[in-house]
Amino acid sequence: MKQDMIVILDLGSTMNTDIARAVRNIGVYSEIHPHDITPEELSKLPNVKGIIINGGENNIVDGVRIDVSRAVYDVGIPVLAVAHAPADCELTLQEWPASEEELALVLKSFVFGTCKAEPNWNIKNFITDQIQIVRRQTGDKKVLLALSGGVDSSVVAALLIKAIGKQLVCVHVNNGLMRKGESEEIDELFRNQLDANLIHVDASQRFLSKLEGVSDPEEKRKIIGNEFIRVFEEEARKLSGIEFLAQGTIYPDIVESGTKTAKVVKSHHNVGGLPEDLQFTLIEPLRYLFKDEVRECGLELGLPESMVYRQPFPGPGLGVRCLGAITKDRLEAVRESDAILREEFAKAGLDKKVWQYFTVVPDFKSVGVKNNARSYEYPVIIRAVNTIDAMTATIEQIEWPVLLRITDRILAEVPNVNRVCYDLSPKPCATIEWE
């Protein structure tokens, strides 16, 4: 299956990803490439039917105005230039239309009318292509994957199980900071239902001892990150014949990691920092997918909705929600209260509506009364936020009856807790997590 492609050349427009999405929405595959791509590099890309040169607000880099090479116009592929009109370009637009409908019309006219591209981009074809590519690339060699249970690593696992079955070795590290039932669900789904080759490492004690007495949030993050690499490395060394490392890198990770016009926003290293002698060849089958396409891919591969639409969960897990130096009591309080919150959110239909929701347990106590006696115990703080990109966030205005039900349950069922609070702070000034 060869899919037609529209190439978007990046001249620093913040619209690049929106345009790439819009082209895929009309059924044609699209990729964003650097503005200084050479005609030779362009001709190596498969099935390019059209080029969109997307001029933008960031087209001055280090004081120099950047532009595409003139030769790109001469390779014989139709070019649409937007906000960027060289004299001899046939198709130009001053700016993109504001409405989605009009944008789709403009793109359809160019992509189907001028470029004669076929609308053959869909997730089924993508999966079929990737399975072939992975099989060709790996032959009979083994592939290692760190399976956290997050959406991206789970979808990569499902795809690779389909492509190479037991040649895929999944390593799931339980760091003791997972949510209630999470590690068990990973075992059940991947080992029992999908018959994956899954190594489950229970490293809870190891992580918790390393974290003992450490209260600084960044120090906690560093310890959790480093320890993960160490555990993963130890497991990798026990295995033989592994040549490849699969990662759940997705398109926004690549775009955000810096292009020639946008300096690095965030560096993404899912399993960075492995020692030099453990160099694997990387396999990143989702590297060209946007998040919603990753979810669609997961559903198509048979993963349950609860996994595919899972809310984001930070790498350091409950470790940054059990504030200050982690203790067993408070970690259990975070885990149990989080489970109640998730259960009640699901019952109220809020799990599909709210972007991220969790509980936090601080490292101070307050006075209360329980069973007619004075109590001196921890509070639980509920947080529920909505956001588009996690850079800013607003709080969800949860209805009182739902909040009261959650409060009653937490107070009745979670040991060492005598008070429940609701966090009303947007981001900024607060961040989404408390640490």
Mention every residue, 6+ apart, whose C-beta is less than 8 A from residue 137.
244, 283
Out of 55, 248, 316, 379, the only residue in the binding site for ligand XMP (CB under 6 A) is 316
Tokens of 341: 């919150």
Q: What is the size of the binding site for ligand XMP (CB under 6 A)?
A: 11
Site string for ligand XMP, 196-225 (x = CB under 6 A): -------------------------x----
Running DSSP on this structure, what letter comes out for residue 162? H
3-state secondary structure (DSSP) of residue 192: helix
Q: Is 149 in the site for ligand XMP (CB under 6 A)?
A: no
Q: Is 356 in the site for ligand XMP (CB under 6 A)?
A: yes
CA distance 176 to 163: 31
Find the shortest distance in angstroms from Cβ 312 to ligand XMP.
4
Interhelix angle 151-164/291-300, nearest 10 degrees: 40
Which amino acid belongs to residue 231? Answer: V
**Which residues 390-419 are close enough to bind ligand XMP by CB under 6 A?**
390
Find the shortest distance in angstroms from Cβ 356 to ligand XMP.
5
Out of 108, 365, 405, 427, the only residue in the binding site for ligand XMP (CB under 6 A) is 427
**Which of the ranges 31-39, 126-134, 158-166, 311-319 carries the binding residues for ligand XMP, by CB under 6 A?**
311-319
Rg over CA atoms, the chain? 25
Strands 5-11 and 29-34 turn out to be parallel
Q: Is 31 in the site for ligand XMP (CB under 6 A)?
A: no
Find the shortest distance in angstroms from Cβ 389 to ligand XMP.
9
Q: What angle do CA 319, 323, 324 make, to 5 degrees?
A: 100
Q: Is 36 in the site for ligand XMP (CB under 6 A)?
A: no
Q: Is 249 in the site for ligand XMP (CB under 6 A)?
A: no
Q: Is 433 in the site for ligand XMP (CB under 6 A)?
A: yes
**Which of the ranges 128-136, 275-283, 312-320, 394-402 carries the binding residues for ligand XMP, by CB under 6 A?**
312-320
Smallest CA-to-CA distance from 300 within 158, 188, 196 is with: 158
Which amino acid belongs to residue 194? Answer: L
**Which of the ranges 31-39, 253-261, 313-321, 324-332 carries the binding residues for ligand XMP, by CB under 6 A?**
313-321
Residue length, the chain? 435
Mention every residue, 6+ apart, whose C-beta is less than 8 A from residue 248.
150, 151, 152, 153, 155, 156, 270, 284, 286
Out of 314, 322, 330, 406, the only residue in the binding site for ligand XMP (CB under 6 A) is 314
Which amino acid belongs to residue 155? Answer: V
- Using the structure block, give the residue that is written with the tokens 């470029």: 115
Find the shortest distance in angstroms from Cβ 263 to ligand XMP.
20
Before 429, cis peptide (omega within 30)? yes
Q: Is 260 in the site for ligand XMP (CB under 6 A)?
A: no
Q: Is 267 in the site for ligand XMP (CB under 6 A)?
A: no
Between 109 and 215, CB nearer to ligand XMP: 215
Provide the binding-site residues for ligand XMP, judged by CB under 6 A: 221, 312, 314-316, 356, 390, 427, 431-433
